[in-house]
Chains A and B, each alone.
Chain A
Amino acid sequence: MAVVEKALRDAHGHLSGADPAKPLEYQDPNQSLRILGFWLFLATDMLLFGCLFATYLVLRTHTDGGPTAHELFDIPGFTAETFILLTSSFTGGLATLAMRNRNRKQVLAWLTVTILLGLAFVGLEAQEFYKDVLEGATMQRSAFLSAFFTLVGTHGSHVSLGIVWMFSILLQVAKRGLTQVTARKVFIVNLYWHFLDVVWVFIFTVVYLFGVVM
């Protein structure tokens, strides 16, 4: 029985319409379509962040006598967050690479590293928000702070969701191995992760560096 199932899976996975020259995640047209759909989601998610960036840029000087960006931002804190997220984008990329090389163990290892780095990032950000609130820089204090917490918090909740999602894919790969379906899932969760890294690069530029300098 198991032999028949394996034969069917092999026939489905490697012969019917599968082109071995293509990466694993693109071999089934249904999975390719889902990858296209995910790219389109990323384009719309970009619009969400575009609106939040526009709001922040307009309101960043409206501090209402409260704490300013210059007083609030802690350079070692956001430097650490930036390097952690850049590194996690790299390790996520290595998970995609391992998936294309059909190396299940490495996929699991790199996804684990990426999740741990993501947790470190979210932990640092939560700590930063907690410290801000203790200093009286709450979301209600000024238009600047409302825009700041909305923009950075939306990114942070994206990362938190990404961690849960990546963990669920880790379990699926551990359980089912690397099929065309799990390969596609590994690929798109990492697309999401690289996208969040790009958004963070702009947060650290427009919010933190501009805040410290201007």
Chain B
Amino acid sequence: MAAHGHAEQHHGGPVAAHEHHGAGKYIVGYIASLVLTAIAFWLALGHHMAGGPLALTLLILGGLQIVVQLFFFMHVTEGDGPPFHSVGLLLGLIFTFAIALMSIWIMSFHYQVQ
């Protein structure tokens, strides 16, 4: 198998030995991120929803943008060996959202700190 790759590289150069990757995935990702952003602007500036549901919808749209960047641009499913990076990333995401959302939750009690 290695000899085969070797021969190919010597005859056709490094480019010929590898399949050409198209830009389709990137274009789809870019369009998806533009559409998600446009929806967020339209909802927020058009006064189509009340405060609470609007905030939740905007956050969900933000979450979808994470998915677009991770899967269309950042190649999160690829890697060498077990997906340790996904575990680290997931843990980071859980901590990040826990810190932000629980801070809001605790502050919503309106207790005065003595």
Residues of A within 8 A of B (CB): 10, 14-15, 20, 22-23, 26, 29, 32, 35-36, 39-40, 42-44, 46-47, 49-51, 53-55, 57-58, 75, 79, 82-83, 86-87, 89-90, 92-94, 96-97, 100-103, 190-191, 194-195, 197-198, 201-202, 204-206, 209-210, 212-214
Contact = CB atoms under 8 A, between A and B. Distances in A.
Contacts of B89: 39, 42-43
Nearest to A16: B2
A-B residue pairs, 10 tightest by C-beta: A43-B92, A50-B96, A39-B85, A32-B80, A54-B103, A90-B30, A209-B44, A93-B73, A201-B65, A50-B99
Interface residues of B, number: 55
Interface of B: 2, 5-6, 9, 14-15, 17-18, 20-21, 23, 26, 29-30, 33-34, 37, 40-41, 44-45, 47, 51, 54-55, 58-59, 61-62, 65-66, 69, 72-75, 78-81, 84-85, 88-89, 91-93, 95-97, 99-100, 103-104, 107
B15 A14 contact: no
Contacts of B92: 42-44, 46-47
A49 B85 CA distance: 19
Contacts, number: 156
Looking at chain A's contact residues, is the secondary structure mostly helix, strand, loop, or mixed?
helix
B99 A47 contact: yes
Nearest to A187: B75
12 contacts: A23-B75, A40-B85, A47-B95, A47-B99, A54-B104, A75-B45, A82-B37, A86-B37, A102-B14, A191-B74, A195-B69, A205-B61
Contact of B69 (A55, A197, A205): A197
B10 to A, nearest CB: 9
Contacts of A190: 73-74
B103 A39 contact: no
A97 B80 contact: no
B80 A26 contact: yes
Contacts of A96: 73, 75
